[in-house]
Amino acid sequence: MDLRDSPDEAAFRAGVQDWLAANLPAEPGKEWSRRLYDAGYVGLTWPTEYGGFGAPYSHQAIVLEEFARAQAPNHMNVIALGMAGPTIMAWGTEEQKQRYLAKMLTAEEIWCQGFSEPEAGSDLAAVRTRIEETDDGFVVNGQKVWSSYAHLADFCILVGLGDPSAPRYKGLTYVIVDMKAPGVEVRPLRQLTGESDFNEIFLTDVHVPRENLLGGVGDGWSVAMTTLLHERGTLGFALGGALDAQVHRLVALAKERAPGDPIVRDRVAEEWVELQALKLTNNRALTSLMETGIPGPEGSVSKLHYSEQNQRLTKLAMEILEGEDDGYWRYQQLRSRGNTIEAGTSEILRNIIAERVLGLPRSR
Ligand SMILES: Cc1cc2nc3c(=O)[nH]c(=O)nc-3n(C[C@H](O)[C@H](O)[C@H](O)COP(=O)(O)OP(=O)(O)OC[C@H]3O[C@@H](n4cnc5c(N)ncnc54)[C@H](O)[C@@H]3O)c2cc1C
């Protein structure tokens, strides 16, 4: 594997960097998201018939890396681009693809993910939200929690229990819920950082038309696995870029506040070495993605590595600052707590790595 950019990739990367230099700073939101699409930086690998650009995965990786490194605001449809879109591409009917995909890229329709429930997080098969079949579709009743963007969303990818009498994993059904439908109530939750990015969703007799079913009745587990594979699959490059930016800030902070401290120097150097390890893992993931088109288990390694390292280095920055709030690092430290929970907790990721990467016996 040659880790250097090819001439085509180098030219593409330079174009991304020039565009970012000309367009930053920017406010996150729908307008920014639309500008990203118009510039050709959203849906790079998606097929052109659904609004994408049919570009290689390496270009997608470059965009994620450069945007994270420049600390540019994300496209606001992160759930659609990373999860709902790839799932509809894999399982959706042609009508569903035509109906939903292009509007995800332009941020005309925002998506959220309704998987977690008060009694079902890591163990998705334990969801209790009921999806009952009717003559013309389904009726949904239950509660979801921690749904990022639900307060802004038009649609939700939702996993529920279709058949309570079926064996575990076989009773789940996966539907697209219109967040404006009668019976959908969103209640924002307040986070440690003071922000309200995620929500509870209460569903009372919500009618879901049959054409909003993804896969078949009872296929919910398999469809959900596609969603989760993609959630971690391409995330690694963005995480590598984000960590790159954090390590550079940490180096600058250490130079300014603790230039002669040998212990700080040692710990900062360790963070830099860990960053290189993450980048190499990401390159390995990219190679297998380009060969197979399917994200591999390396995504779990990158996510675990990033979230634990980010917590450690924000803690080091706060130590260097001796607890002073400089407006950046304290927020980063508080936000980093959620990193080891969202998109699979560290314990769950260690289980996945043990079983699917290292081939150790199953934990249960
Ligand atoms: C910032 C943020 C955004 C989120 N956004 C969304 C979203 O948009 N949509 C959505 O559906 N969910 C979302 N979540 C929820 C997230 O997916 C869950 O919090 C996560 O899956 C863990 O589930 P839980 O909170 O129920 O914890 P639990 O599953 O109850 O876990 C509790 C503890 O037990 C450990 N544990 C559980 N099972 C095992 C096991 N088998 N082996 C070893 N240890 C185990 C866990 O690691 C954890 O430490 C978000 C969470 C956060 C923090």
271 pLDDT tier (thresholds 50, 70, 90): very high
| 251 vs 235, higher pLDDT | 251
Compute the distance from residue 94 Cα to the ligand 1 centre, in Å.
Answer: 33
Amino acid symbol at 261? D
Q: For the residues 97-108, what does the mean pLDDT come to?
A: 98
Q: Look at residue 232 and tell me whether its pLDDT is greater than 90.
A: no
DSSP H stretches of helix in the chain: 7-23, 30-38, 57-69, 78-79, 85-91, 94-105, 220-233, 235-257, 262-292, 298-320, 329-339, 346-352
Q: Look at residue 260 and tell me whether its pLDDT is greater than 80.
A: yes
Return the pLDDT at 234.
Answer: 64
Compute the distance from residue 18 Cα to the ligand 1 centre, in Å.
Answer: 39
Determine which residue's CA is closest to atom 16 belonging to ligand 1. 342
235 pLDDT tier (thresholds 50, 70, 90): low
% residues pLDDT > 70 (the chain): 98
Residue 23 has a CB neighbour count (10 Å cut-off) of 14
Active-site choice (65, 66, 117, 231): 231
Q: Look at residue 331 and tell me whether its pLDDT is greater than 90.
A: yes
218 pLDDT tier (thresholds 50, 70, 90): very high
List the one residue out of 252, 251, 298 whose CA is nearest residue 270.
Answer: 251
Compute the distance from residue 12 Cα to the ligand 1 centre, in Å.
Answer: 37
50-62: pLDDT as tens digits? 999 999 988 988 9
Pocket test for ligand 1, best of 129, 190, 345 (most atoms within 8 A of CB): 345
Mean pLDDT of the chain: 94
Q: Is the CB of 121 under 6 A from ligand 1?
A: yes
Q: Is the CB of 147 under 6 A from ligand 1?
A: yes
**CA 23/CA 142 separation, integer angstroms:** 43
Range with lowest mean pLDDT among 21-30, 65-74, 212-221: 65-74
Return the pLDDT at 40.
Answer: 97
Q: Look at residue 1 and tell me whether its pLDDT is greater than 70.
A: no
| 93 vs 362, higher pLDDT | 93
Ramachandran class of 76: left when φ > 0, alpha when ψ lies in -120 to 50, beta otherwise? alpha
Indicate if 274 belongs to the active site: no
Q: For the residues 76-93, what does the mean pLDDT come to?
A: 96
The model's pTM is 0.94
| 238 vs 93, higher pLDDT | 93
169-206: pLDDT as tens digits? 999 999 999 999 999 999 999 999 999 999 999 999 99
Q: Look at residue 38 and tell me whether its pLDDT is greater than 90.
A: yes
Specify burial of residue 2 (Cβ count, 10 A radius: 0-12, 13-18, 19+): exposed
87 pLDDT tier (thresholds 50, 70, 90): very high
Compute the distance from residue 62 Cα to the ligand 1 centre, in Å.
Answer: 29
